[in-house]
């Protein structure tokens, strides 16, 4: 064990000490996007949440294989009249090839995640690129008696599964109470033996563009089977962490458990993690609801719901201000507040290397405060990746840093080792763990700014001539444009920039 880390496991609804299968290696699989449209804030939240998990596990010393899939086939519309593949529907509307649609929106998704400073996964497999693996997994499920073929389609036999395993292990759904709500089963649902059975393979009609040869004829995979096939291929069974949005817990992740037990007689994963939703007025933000804001619109401000444009780092900071298991309700006011807060932290990040400690410690109380909040950064992340508490600790460190930057003589009351701890902790958690970037490189360093030096000379001359009214006017007017003057006891003046 590298470090004591606790993770909330959705499988048993409890917080557990993280114990990877291999001491220093972690396998993590996260359900990626269905690439038929522009990514929105909901996609950003899931990606950022598991980017944090990826970053922190690496930060504390684990080697992580992070697999995130791209769903470019097999995901059906929740529409009882059509039951149509989302990518095919988009291709028909835009008069494009289905794979052209998939590639276009895969590129957009990757670019948006890069803008949000999400690290690229170790492996990013596509569903269409793993058809043989999905067919092989389906065959194993059939051989073990948990699936059946009808008219060229293959369905998972939920009743046969429930005779051997507990159905609803993750979601808590009771089999007898289930309704026929599984998204990919709307088409041809009458041929299923039981309404809760879900499609592993669907027979394609001649007009269906995306289809492959299989032992059951030409067709395409169901939605759930791709994740079982690809996670087991690249991470083995079981692996350490499986992540995704709360809305995937049922039916998708429940189906993955069924498929893994049905094919391999093993649980797929040791820790299930689910991030919560982004909401607008309490309603989930989603394409299907038409209340979503794309990331491109967030960055440009080109959406009627937005009061202004928000940079990628402000969006990232906004998401990190809440724990990943809590909902975030969108509002312009909250985003504007996040922008102000982010810039305050960034200002300290830019200046913190200017701090210098003394030879001896004389302010033991301040030393203890610095050590306390540095430790709180670590404790918060070790407590189920609590980014909200980590940011709160960084704000406490930023307050201390601002005081030390303004009153430089106070720095001599702290040891060099404590100053170094402050600097390293702040920089590591801001940049490496939280993945925040410096967007304010153009903020002037007022201590060395020639214009402010001239203004300072004029103000000092006014004070020397006992023209204190003019000196105060200069100070007030500078304050109004965000520049604070600090007259030190030794007769010097320093400046600080207020966001």
- Residue 118 exposed, middle or buried by CB count within 10 Å (0-12, 13-18, 19+): buried
**Residues 450, 454, 455, 457, CA torsion sign:** positive
- 448 pLDDT tier (thresholds 50, 70, 90): very low
Please give the Cα distance from 28 to 50 (Å, whole number). Answer: 9
pLDDT at 225 over 80: yes
The confidence score (pLDDT) of residue 281 equals 76
Confidence band, pLDDT 50/70/90 cuts, at residue 182:
very low
DSSP string, 204-224: PPTT-SS-B--TT-SEEE-ST
Picking from 153, 213, 216, 212, the residue whose alpha carbon sits closest to that of residue 188 is 153
Which H or E element spans position 65? strand 63-68
Task: Return d(Cα 263, Cα 372) in angstroms, integer.
Answer: 50
The band of 447, judged by pLDDT with boundaries at 50, 70 and 90, is very low
Strand partners, 156: 147, 198
Which secondary structure element, helix H or strand E, spans residue 201, and what is its range? strand 198-203
| Fold classification of 6-275 (topology level) | Rossmann fold (3.40.50)
Structure tokens at 243: 């992540």
In this prediction, residue 79 carries a pLDDT of 33
Q: How far is CA 416 from CA 361, 403, 423, in A?
A: 9, 17, 10
Which residue would you say has higher pLDDT here, 36 or 7? 7
């Amino acid at each position: 064990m590298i470090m004591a880390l606790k993770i909330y496991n959705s499988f048993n609804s409890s917080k557990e000490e993280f114990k990877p299968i291999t001491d220093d290696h972690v396998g993590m699989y996260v359900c990626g996007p269905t690439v038929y449209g522009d990514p929105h804030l909901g996609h950003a939240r899931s990606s950022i949440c598991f980017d944090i998990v990826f970053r922190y596990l690496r930060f504390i010393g684990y080697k992580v294989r992070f697999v995130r899939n791209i769903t470019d086939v097999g995901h059906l519309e929740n529409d009882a009249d059509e039951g149509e593949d989302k990518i095919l529907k988009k291709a028909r509307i835009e008069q494009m090839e289905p794979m052209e649609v998939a590639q276009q929106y895969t590129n957009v998704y990757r670019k948006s995640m890069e803008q949000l400073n999400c690290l690229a996964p170790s492996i990013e497999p596509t569903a269409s690129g793993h058809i043989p693996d999905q067919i092989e997994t389906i065959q194993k499920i059939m051989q073990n008696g948990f699936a059946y073929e009808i008219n060229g389609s293959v369905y998972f036999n939920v009743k046969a599964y429930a005779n051997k395993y507990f159905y609803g292990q993750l979601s808590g759904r009771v089999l007898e109470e289930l309704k026929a709500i599984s998204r990919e089963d709307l088409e041809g649902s009458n041929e299923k033996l039981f309404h809760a059975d879900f499609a592993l393979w669907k027979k394609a009609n001649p007009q269906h563009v995306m289809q492959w040869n299989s032992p059951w004829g030409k067709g395409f995979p169901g939605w759930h089977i791709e994740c079982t096939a690809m996670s087991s291929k690249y991470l083995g069974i079981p692996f350490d962490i499986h992540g995704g949005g709360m809305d995937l817990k049922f039916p998708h992740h429940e189906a993955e458990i069924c498929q893994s037990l049905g094919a391999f007689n093993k649980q797929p994963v040791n820790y299930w993690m689910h991030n919560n939703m982004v909401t607008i007025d309490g309603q989930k933000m989603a394409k299907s609801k038409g209340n979503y804001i794309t990331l491109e619109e967030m960055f440009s401000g080109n959406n009627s719901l937005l009061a202004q444009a928000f940079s990628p780092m402000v969006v990232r900071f906004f998401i990190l201000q809440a724990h990943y298991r809590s909902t975030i309700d969108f509002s312009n006011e909250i985003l504007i507040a996040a922008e102000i807060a982010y810039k305050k932290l960034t200002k300290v990040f830019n200046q913190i290397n200017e701090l210098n400690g003394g030879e001896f410690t004389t302010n033991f109380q301040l030393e203890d405060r610095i050590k306390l909040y540095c430790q709180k950064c670590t404790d918060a992340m070790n407590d189920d990746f609590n980014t909200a508490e980590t940011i709160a600790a960084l704000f406490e460190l930023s307050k201390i840093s601002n005081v030390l930057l303004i009153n430089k003589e106070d720095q001599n009351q702290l040891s060099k080792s404590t100053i170094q701890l402050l600097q390293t902790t702040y920089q590591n958690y801001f940049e490496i763990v939280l993945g925040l970037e410096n967007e304010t490189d153009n903020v002037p360093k007022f201590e060395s700014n020639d214009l402010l030096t001239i203004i300072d000379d004029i103000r000092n001359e006014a004070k020397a001539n006992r023209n204190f009214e003019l000196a105060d006017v200069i100070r007030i007017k500078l304050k109004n444009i965000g520049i604070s003057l600090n007259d030190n006891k030794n007769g010097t003046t320093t400046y600080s920039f207020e966001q």
